[in-house]
């Protein structure tokens, strides 16, 4: 179920209060003054990674109930402490972890806030809703809705949890020809044959470009640099890699490593491997320890074994901020 958000120009900033309850109440009153609403979702900014699935479950439940909250089961042993010491175990089957967003019938929620005593605060709106005599339904929550609260949550481990790891794969083949230059990884290699193609036919960089594009589901090299376009005739393939890397950067992504395999009988890749690694590291602005180049033959089998062409495989790993 797709959810369309209003344009930014339609949002209104509402100043919060001294407590959580007062802040929510200020927002609800602003909605009422603007004409009200049928339903409202109240969410904590400390839980930044709310998914469409959770929102859909809440909205679907509001079709039959006046309130719904996401919960998760307590899987750890639960205990009660007294004076800093263990007093007793608590039945975890009756304990559930409550999350946000929480969904409500708007008119009932604001009426509950209208009558709520300001002598004390409530840690969530479900308590306020229930104190007004209304039932609160539950839906399945999401572990990704972790609440970022403690200093440790914002350490390296916490930051990594805010990012998702993406992997892309690339594969390319080019035919060998006697009247062409041989470019591999942006390095010109002396050889009696070269690779034939619309650009410089750098099979390794073409595979790498596809791997990078794959990490962000941005199609393949042919979508961005079609061989029918004359402007790419003879073009240096480093431009393609730089372009794919720029798309990743625009999305806030970080390239962690690339791993490539060249498949050919000749030339021998080992004498050129380090300069190719260094060149690709410079193109991507990453360290050489993040670039792996390997080479193999097919033991005389297939088109590479017959020295008719060269193939290359590439894998790229990046991280992206999770899609909120």
Task: Indicate which CATH number applies to the domain containing 238.
Answer: 3.30.1330.50
Are 188 and 300 contained in the same domain?
A: yes
How far apart are alpha carbons 161 and 259 in whole angstroms? 24
Digit-by-digit pLDDT tens for the chain (324 residues) are 444 556 666 778 899 998 999 999 999 999 999 999 999 999 998 888 888 889 999 999 999 999 999 999 988 898 989 888 999 999 998 899 999 999 999 999 999 999 998 777 789 999 999 999 999 999 999 988 888 887 776 665 555 555 789 999 999 999 999 999 999 999 999 999 999 999 999 999 999 999 999 999 999 999 999 989 999 999 999 999 999 999 999 988 999 999 999 999 999 999 999 999 999 999 999 999 999 999 999 999 999 999 999 999 999 999 987 653
How far apart are alpha carbons 56 and 41 in whole angstroms? 12
C-alpha dihedral sign at 121, 124, 127, 129: positive
Tokens of 250: 């625009």
By DSSP bridging, strand 137-140 and strand 102-105 are unpaired
Predicted local distance difference test score (pLDDT) of residue 121: 78
DSSP 8-class letter at 55: H
Tokens of 263: 């498949």
Are 271 and 299 contained in the same domain?
A: yes
- Residue 285 located in a structural domain: yes
Q: Which of 119, 149, 179 is the last residue in one of the domains?
A: 149
Are 144 and 169 contained in the same domain?
A: no
Measured at the alpha carbon of residue 238, what is the angle toward residues 232 and 240, in degrees to the nearest 5? 55
Q: Which domain holds residue 215?
A: 162-321
- Residue 157 located in a structural domain: no
Number of domains in the chain: 2
Predicted local distance difference test score (pLDDT) of residue 117: 84
Predicted local distance difference test score (pLDDT) of residue 159: 58
Are 180 and 140 contained in the same domain?
A: no
Are 136 and 183 contained in the same domain?
A: no
How far from the centroid of its chain's Cα atoms is residue 4's Cα? 20
**Of 103, 179, 84, 114, the residue nearest 141 (C-alpha):** 103
Are 143 and 216 contained in the same domain?
A: no
How far apart are alpha carbons 207 and 171 in whole angstroms? 5
Residue 56, beta-bridge partner list: none
Are 310 and 173 contained in the same domain?
A: yes
Are 289 and 254 contained in the same domain?
A: yes
DSSP 8-class letter at 232: G
Predicted local distance difference test score (pLDDT) of residue 1: 41
Are 107 and 198 contained in the same domain?
A: no
Predicted local distance difference test score (pLDDT) of residue 146: 84
pTM score above 0.85: no
Are 279 and 185 contained in the same domain?
A: yes
- Residue 99 located in a structural domain: yes
Q: How far is CA 16 from CA 3, 20, 23, 24, 126, in A?
A: 26, 8, 4, 7, 19
- Residue 277 located in a structural domain: yes
**Of 229, 218, 202, 235, the residue nearest 310 (C-alpha):** 202
Residue 170, beta-bridge partner list: 314
How far apart are alpha carbons 246 and 209 in whole angstroms? 11
Are 98 and 23 contained in the same domain?
A: yes
DSSP 8-class letter at 302: H
Predicted local distance difference test score (pLDDT) of residue 158: 55
Are 73 and 135 contained in the same domain?
A: yes
- Residue 154 located in a structural domain: no
Predicted local distance difference test score (pLDDT) of residue 215: 96
How far apart are alpha carbons 152 and 88 in whole angstroms? 28
Q: What is the CATH number of the domain that holds 129?
A: 3.90.550.10
Predicted local distance difference test score (pLDDT) of residue 152: 72
Tokens of 168: 């892309």
Q: Which of 126, 149, 172 is the last residue in one of the domains?
A: 149
Each residue of 256-287: b (16+ CB within 10 Å) or e?
eebbbbbbbbebebeebbeebbebbbebbebe
- Residue 156 located in a structural domain: no
- Residue 247 located in a structural domain: yes
- Residue 2 located in a structural domain: no
Q: Which of 102, 128, 149 is the last residue in one of the domains?
A: 149
């Amino acid at each position: 179920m797709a959810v369309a958000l209003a344009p930014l120009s339609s949002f209104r900033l509402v100043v919060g209060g001294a407590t959580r309850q007062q802040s929510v109440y200020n927002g609800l009153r602003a909605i009422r003054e603007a004409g009200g609403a049928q339903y409202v979702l109240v969410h904590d900014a400390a839980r930044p990674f709310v998914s469409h699935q959770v929102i859909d479950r809440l909205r679907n439940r509001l079709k039959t109930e006046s309130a719904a909250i996401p919960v998760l089961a307590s899987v750890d042993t639960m205990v009660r402490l007294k004076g800093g010491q263990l007093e007793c175990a608590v039945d975890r089957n009756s304990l559930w972890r409550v999350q946000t967003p929480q969904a409500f019938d708007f008119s009932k929620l604001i009426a509950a806030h209208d009558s709520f005593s300001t002598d004390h605060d409530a840690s969530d709106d479900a308590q306020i809703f229930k104190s007004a005599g209304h039932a609160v339904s539950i839906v399945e929550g999401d572990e990704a809705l972790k609440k970022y609260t403690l200093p440790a949550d914002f350490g390296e481990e916490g930051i990594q949890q805010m990012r998702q790891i993406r992997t892309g794969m690339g594969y390319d083949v080019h035919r060998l020809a006697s009247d062409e230059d041989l470019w591999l990884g942006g390095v010109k290699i002396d050889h009696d044959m070269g690779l034939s193609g619309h650009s410089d036919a750098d099979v390794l960089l073409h595979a790498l470009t596809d791997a990078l594009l794959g990490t962000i589901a941005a199609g393949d090299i042919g979508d961005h640099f079609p061989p029918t376009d004359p402007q790419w005739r003879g073009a240096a393939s480093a431009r393609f890699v730089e372009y794919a890397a720029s798309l990743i950067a625009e999305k806030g992504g970080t390239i962690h490593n690339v791993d490539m395999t060249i498949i050919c009988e000749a030339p021998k890749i080992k004498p050129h491997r380090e300069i190719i690694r260094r060149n690709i590291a410079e193109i991507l602005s990453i360290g050489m320890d993040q670039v792996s180049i390997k080479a193999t033959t097919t033991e005389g089998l297939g088109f590479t074994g017959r020295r008719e062409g060269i193939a290359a495989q590439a894998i790229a790993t990046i991280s992206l901020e999770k899609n909120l």
